[in-house]
Amino acid sequence: MGSAREKTVEHLGRVVEVTRNSVRISIVSASACGSCHAKSACSLSESTEKDIVVDNHGLQLHVDDQVKVILQRSLAMRAVVFGYVLPLFVMLGVLIAASELLGSEIMAGLWSIGAVVVYYLMLNVFKKRLEAKFVFRVERLD
């Protein structure tokens, strides 16, 4: 069996806002080559700053506190499936079906793009329910 660390995904972050009910944390998501010594000369390396909001249940955090955000690896994989894998299957399925039924590649492409838009809109409709399943743990770094 693996250790608890192998079963989690961890990111370092900084608290940017604290309210009575929630804490907004900014994390830097870097590409795999983000730690490469030649990243400043390479256009492939990228890092983006993302904000996550967690419930403030007595976390005792303040703005600019450094924290570690932890998510179970199984939940991280589920997020990848919902965000990337399922929309790919929706797009390909609709593209193949529409090209067979309509006979027009342009219309099939437009239908497949529309299906992906509808998929993401449905994710947005069920956002609260999905957020309840993805629980982040926050540890303050001293």
How many angstroms separate the CA atoms of 43 and 131, rounded?
34
Q: Within the chain, where are the H helices?
A: 73-80, 86-102, 105-125, 127-133
CA 15 to chain centre: 18
Q: What is the pLDDT of residue 133?
A: 80
Where b means 16+ CB within 10 Å and e means fewer, 26-42 reads ebeeeeeeeeeeebeee
Q: Could you read off the pLDDT of 18-70 as tens digits, one per residue?
A: 888 888 888 876 655 555 655 555 555 556 788 888 887 777 888 888 888 88
The partner residues of 13 in beta bridges, in order of sequence, read 27, 67
Q: Could you read off the pLDDT of 97-118 as tens digits, one per residue?
A: 999 999 899 999 999 999 999 9
Amino acid, single-letter form, for residue 118: V
Structure tokens at 85: 């894998």
71 band by pLDDT with thresholds 50, 70 and 90: confident
